[in-house]
Amino acid sequence: MYRVYGIPNCNTVKKALTHLDEAGKKYEFINFKKQAPTKDELKIWKEAFGDWPVNKKGPTYRKIKEEFEAATAAGKYKLLMETTSAIKRPIVMKKDSVKTFGYSEDEFNKL
């Protein structure tokens, strides 16, 4: 079963969930607003993403950009756990492996 991390009112997350539903894929949805990611999850995502898993084009990140860029690694983890809307989404995992970031029809067809 997949785990999908995101925010339910995000259009990209909605597309991803619709795709999974239509494909008959089983998943658990983890709402960032109700359950913030752990530092361990952020570490896994950072490694898989090759950088901090932030949506640099999003309005939330733009609001915290200066603070985020000036922060130590510990500060960045703390900031992302507190400001989950800045995290790129959705993030799809299976077990402890990241399968995809964001939504791409091609990537979701491969799941």
Task: Quote the pTM value.
Answer: 0.90
pLDDT of residue 36: 94
Residues 6+ apart with CB under 8 A from 16: 4, 6, 90, 92, 103, 108
Q: What are phi and psi of 66, to 5 degrees?
A: -65, -45
| Exposure on the CB side of residue 110, measured as CA atoms within 13 A | 8
Question: How many structural domains is the chain composed of?
Answer: 1
CATH number of 39's domain: 3.40.30.10
Q: Is the per-residue pLDDT at 96 higher than 90?
A: no
Q: Domain range spanning residue 31?
A: 2-110
Question: What is the per-residue pLDDT across 36-91, written as a single tens digit (0 to 9) for each?
Answer: 999 999 999 999 999 999 999 999 999 999 999 999 999 999 999 999 999 999 99
Cα pseudo-dihedral 87, 29, 14, 110, rounded to 10: 90
What gap in Å lies between CA 75 and CA 49, rounded to an integer? Answer: 19
Question: What is the per-residue pLDDT across 59-71, written as a single tens digit (0 to 9) for each?
Answer: 999 999 999 999 9
